[in-house]
Amino acid sequence: MLDYIKGTIAELNPAYVVLDNHGLGYMINISLSTYDALAKLPSMEVARLYVHEAIREDAHLLYGFADKHERELFLLLISVSGVGVNTARMILSSLPAVELEKNIASGNASVLKSVKGVGAKTAQRIIVDLKDKIKVAGDTLIEETGEASGVVFEEAMAALVMLGFTQQMSQKALKKLFKQEPNISVEDAIKKALKMM
C-alpha cells in the first residue's frame, strides 16, 4: 500500500494533479483544499501527497492529500455507509477540515446537506457514525494541548490505535499525560500511555 508519492508537479488543476516521479506520471485526484496548497508552490516544485488507493474492478484510482489530517478525515468519511470516494472528496472540497470537524461534532446536519450530493439521510449518518471519532482529530486536540504538542499527541494516538487500543482509551490516557507533561516526546508518550492501559 502506498503512503505518499513525492514528485514534481507536471500538471495541476482543481480536480487532479499529475506528479512526475522518476519519469512516471501519477494522476492523483485531489480536493480543492489540496489544490490550493499545491497552487501556492513555485513552478516545478517537488510536492509530497499522502495517498489513498481505491482499487475497483474497472479502475485503480489514487486520491491525494496535502496532509495526513485531511487523509484521515477522508478515510473516516468513506467508512460511512453511502459515502463514496467522490462524495468524500466533494465534502472536503466544500468545507475546510476544521469546519467539517466542528459541524460533525456539534451535529450540524444543515451544513453537510449544503454540500452537493449529500442528502438529509447521508448527513445524519455521517454525524451519527463519526461524532465520537471526529473529536479525536485535529483542531480540538491542538486547542487543548498547544500547537506543537498537538502533533505529538496525534502521532502518539495513531501509534496506540495501530497497536490495537481503542481511540477512546488512547485519548483518555494521552490527555492525562499531556496535562502533566505538555512537552513530552512521542516515544515517551507511547511508553507511558501503554503503562496506564
Per-residue pLDDT tens over the stretch 135-189? 544 444 434 444 445 678 888 888 887 777 787 788 888 888 888 888 888 888 8
Measured over the CA atoms of residue 93, residue 95, residue 100 and residue 106, the dihedral's sign is negative
For 178, list phi and psi in degrees, rounded to 5. Answer: -70, -25
The yes or no reply on domain 4-65 and CATH 2.40.50.140 is: yes
| Set of cell numbers at residue 80 | 460511512
Assigned fold of 69-133: DNA polymerase; domain 1 (1.10.150)
Q: If phi over 0 gives left and psi between -120 and 50 gives alpha, with beta otherwise, what is residue 116?
A: beta
Measured CA to CA in angstroms, residue 31 lies from 74, 82, 107 at distances of 10, 19, 23
CA distance 38 to 35: 5
Query: Does the pTM exceed 0.85?
Result: no
Beta bridge partners of 7: 47
Measured CA to CA in angstroms, residue 109 lies from 3, 17, 84, 135 at distances of 32, 31, 18, 16
Per residue in 99-140, pLDDT tens?
A: 898 889 888 899 999 888 899 999 999 999 998 887 544 444
Segments making up each domain of the chain, as ranges: 4-65, 69-133, 139-196
What does the pLDDT read at residue 155? 81
| 165 DSSP assignment | -
- CB neighbours of residue 123 within 10 Å: 22
What does the pLDDT read at residue 22? 92
Domain range 139-196, its CATH number among 1.10.8.10, 1.10.540.10, 1.10.357.140, 3.30.300.30: 1.10.8.10
Beta bridge partners of 53: 62
Residue in the block written with cell 476544521: 98
Per residue in 45-96, pLDDT tens?
A: 899 999 999 988 898 999 999 999 899 999 999 999 989 999 999 999 998 8
